[in-house]
A = this chain, B = another copy of it.
Amino acid sequence: MSKAELPKHEAATDPPTAGLDRIALLRPLTPEQRAAVARQCRWRRFSADEQLIDHWGDTRDVAFVVEGRVRVLSHSAGGREISFSDIDAGEPVGEMSALDGRPRSASVVALADGALVAFLPARPFQELVTGHPELAQAMLLRLCDKLRGATDRIMELSTLGANNRVHAELLRLAKRGKRQGIVAIIAPIPVHSDIAARVSTTRETVARVLSDLTRDGMLERRPDALVVRDLPRLEMLVEDVRGAV
């Protein structure tokens, strides 16, 4: 990596060697080993919506998200976004192509300005995984987790209508939110198009379903949060229809 590739303010405040300390996957390595990995990386900052991995490109490197947050997504030919997962700082993304050498399965874009990403070529990444059983084990668990998520989504797409998939996504968000008895607070307010991309429907369907729930008193829109008034009722709504098709 040439210093020239790194913006000046970066070189001063964000020495690449320290950056990789934030990557959970690389924790089994010694600081010296991580420093050696950091030197093999190409470092770059991305602005919001900028693409770090191109679905149709021929790159195979793994990307470590050191700062910021990125989204794995694809588009239909009609331009509708299908999103797969959001990757937080500290996680790798694009590891499949780095491991198996096959084309990218999706694109990856930064979610906000300033995402700092370290790209490690496929070969040294494979050597890392092969040389450190704890690292291979962590990658296996990560892929299992992703495959379980994909299997759940296939089941939802196969057995639930779009309305109920929005309910199911709302339930997932509510369960991750703050709880006060049967009330759950989702903050910040999720963007309709994000929900739509996660459950493979249109923004209009999401807007309609949320407004129906609001009219029924199950949902309340506050300036800074979406409030589920009755979590058990939402749970029943999802469970009742799950797989009834």
Chain A positions near chain B (C-beta within 8 angstroms):
74-78, 80, 82, 84, 96, 99-100, 102, 105-106, 129-131, 133, 136-137, 139-141, 143-148, 150-155, 157-159, 200, 242-245
Contacts and interface: CB of A to CB of B under 8 A. Distances in A.
A100 B141 contact: yes
Given A77-B242, A80-B245, A136-B137, A143 B154 contact: no
A23 to B, nearest CB: 18
Nearest to A136: B136
B141 A99 contact: yes
A105 to B, nearest CB: 5
Given A76-B243, A157-B200, 15 more contacts: A75-B243, A76-B159, A78-B243, A78-B245, A80-B159, A82-B155, A99-B141, A100-B141, A105-B148, A130-B136, A136-B136, A140-B143, A143-B144, A146-B147, A147-B147
Contacts of A152: 105
Main secondary structure of the interface of A (DSSP, over half): helix
Identical copies in the complex? 2
Given A76-B158, A158-B157, A159-B80, A143 B147 contact: yes
A77 B144 contact: no
Contact of A154 (B82, B100, B144, B145): B82
Contacts of A141: 99-100
A89 B155 CA distance: 26
Contacts of A153: 154
A170 B17 CA distance: 51
26 contacts: A75-B243, A76-B155, A76-B159, A77-B159, A77-B243, A78-B159, A78-B243, A80-B245, A82-B158, A84-B154, A96-B148, A99-B141, A100-B141, A100-B145, A102-B144, A105-B151, A129-B136, A129-B137, A130-B133, A130-B137, A131-B133, A133-B136, A143-B143, A150-B151, A154-B157, A157-B200
